[in-house]
Amino acid sequence: MIFAFALVLGSCAGGNELASRTERIVFFGDSITELGAGPQGYVTIVNDSLAKSSGGTIEVIGAGISGNRVPDLLARVDRDVIARKPSLTVIYIGINDVWHWQSFNRGTPKPEFESGLKELITKIHATGSRVILCTPSVIGEKRAGTNTMDTMLAEYAGISRSVAHAMQVQLCDLNAAFNDYLRAHNPHDAGEGILTTDGVHLNVEGNRFVAAQMLAAITERRAKNQPTDRPR
Q: What is the pLDDT of residue 2?
A: 60
- The angle at the Cα of 218, spanning 112 to 167, to the nearest 5 degrees, equals 35
Q: What is the pLDDT of residue 232?
A: 38
Question: Is 107 part of a structural domain of the chain?
Answer: yes
Q: What is the pLDDT of residue 1?
A: 61
Question: Is 230 part of a structural domain of the chain?
Answer: no
Which residues of the chain fall short of a pLDDT of 50?
6-21, 227, 229-232
Question: Is 114 part of a structural domain of the chain?
Answer: yes
CATH of the domain at 122: 3.40.50.1110
Spell out the residues 6+ positions from residue 218 whose beta carbon is closer than 8 angstroms to its own.
25, 46, 50, 88, 132, 228
Instruction: Provide the Cα torsion 133, 138, 144, 146; round to 10°.
Output: -140
Please state, rounded to an integer, the average pLDDT across all residues of the chain.
88
Q: What is the pLDDT of residue 7?
A: 41
Residues of the domain holding 144: 2-223
Q: Are 121 and 73 in contact (CB under 8 A)?
A: no
Question: Is 232 part of a structural domain of the chain?
Answer: no
In this structure, which amino acid lies at residue 195? L
Question: Is 228 part of a structural domain of the chain?
Answer: no
Q: Over the stretch 18-47, which tens digit does the pLDDT of each residue have?
A: 344 478 999 999 999 999 999 999 999 999
Q: Over the stretch 84-110, which tens digit does the pLDDT of each residue have?
A: 999 999 999 999 999 999 878 889 999
pTM of the model: 0.89
Spell out the residues 6+ positions from residue 135 whose beta carbon is closer than 8 angstroms to its own.
94, 157, 160, 161, 171, 172, 173, 174, 175, 176
Question: Is 62 part of a structural domain of the chain?
Answer: yes
**Number of domains into which the chain is organized:** 1
Question: Is 204 part of a structural domain of the chain?
Answer: yes
Q: Is 48 helix (H, G, I), strand (E, B) or coil?
A: helix
DSSP E strands, the chain: 2-8, 22-29, 57-64, 88-92, 130-134, 170-172
Question: Is 229 part of a structural domain of the chain?
Answer: no
Concatenating the DSSP letter of every residue in 170-208 gives EEE-HHHHHHHHHHHH-TT--SSSSSBSSSSSB-HHHHH
